Amino acid sequence: MPRRHRPGDRAPAQRPRPKPGEETAEALLSAVPGISTTSARALLERFGSVAGVVTADPAEWLTVPGIGPERARALAETFTLRAGPPAAAQGHETPPAPGTSVGVHYGGRVVPAFVLEDRGVFAGKRIVRVHVGEPGDAEAPELEFPVDELEPVPTL
């Protein structure tokens, strides 16, 4: 059974809770691979804010105790990351029209297929359903492929 506090009991000692802004800034910096909360605090003490850390010259990061070349490289790589590929690479590309001949990777090789329908965007990729093989082949499978994995059909 948990012990209840009685009048006159002292509360257990706890580390003072940082202000929400400080906690958030530490969390943001410590999300960088190799940057601990201790290193994040040291960076914030030196540069004053996350913005100050981001805009500082990478050589200045090396003056902070605990920040060596590897951690400075991790900071630089993180701060220069792009938000992601352009919209066209995130499933917003125009799918080939139904009936379009394409090549698909199937059975370890590229085989002819034709597009049946656009299935929409799943997991950031535009998906189309294709008929693998010749149009009249009833035995040929119908499969779904990401548009970015389709190959153009060579023209003769």
What's the half-sphere exposure (Cβ side, CA atoms, 13 Å) at 52?
12
In tens, the pLDDT along 131-147 reads 888 777 788 888 888 88
Report the amino acid identity of residue 125. K
The reply to whether 92 and 69 lie within a common domain is no
Residue 9 forms part of a structural domain: no
Full residue range of the structural domain in which residue 64 is found: 20-79
Residue 129 forms part of a structural domain: yes
Supply the pTM of this predicted model.
0.43
CB 100 within 8 A of CB 145: no
In tens, the pLDDT along 38-88 reads 999 999 999 998 888 988 888 899 999 999 988 988 888 888 765 555 544
- The helix (run of H) or strand (run of E) holding residue 28 is helix 20-30
CB 125 within 8 A of CB 118: no
Chain centroid to CA 133:
36
